[in-house]
Amino acid sequence: MLKGFAPVALILASLILALGWLMGRTGGLDILAAQSYRADPSEFHGRHLALLASHGTGQVIDGIPVVRPAPGDVPMLVKRWEFSPALELEAGKTYRLHLLSEDVVHSAAIGESEVLLQPGEVKVVTLVAPAAGRVRIQCGEYCGLGHTKMIGSIEIVSP
Ligand SMILES: [Cu+2]
């Protein structure tokens, strides 16, 4: 009896795990595409500053300015140990995060996806803001002492 049950239990357990994985995937964030291009750092800085000036909310989280960008392109500077700016995104809208590392190799783990960030190369991550809550954005490449605390802020707001 027990002898026959063990393989069945194993198969059942695998099925449950697979199902959980699938649900975790579909329940996650929609990352539509990731592309890359090379950028001139000072030109990129200019775009970043322009975004802060035009869409900054005036708030600051842990020294990082908060921006509520219009749907579309959002230039984000990445460096030890921050993602700037902090974002407020509107539920259901599509954004293209342009991520540029200014110092060493970092990565951006967003939802279930992760893109490697080499200095000088912009990675574009297209995402649809989920219905509510926060989107986790975090560095996944060891980049020094503050690495484990290198977590950006993306909050979903209603229109
Ligand atoms: Cu890191």
pTM attached to this predicted model = 0.81
For the structural domain made of 30-157, what CATH number should be given? 2.60.40.420
Other Cβ atoms less than 10 A from the Cβ of 113: the count is: 14
What is the pLDDT averaged over residues 68-97? 97
CA–centroid distance, residue 18 to ligand 1 (Å): 30
What is the pLDDT averaged over residues 4-31? 60
CA–centroid distance, residue 83 to ligand 1 (Å): 11
DSSP state of 149: G
Mean pLDDT of the chain, nearest integer: 88
CA dist 25 → 20, 68, 95, 136 (Å): 9, 27, 20, 15
The pLDDT, as a whole number, for residue 157 is 95
CA–centroid distance, residue 64 to ligand 1 (Å): 17
The pLDDT, as a whole number, for residue 19 is 52
pLDDT band at 17 (very low <50, low <70, confident <90, very high): low
CA–centroid distance, residue 141 to ligand 1 (Å): 4
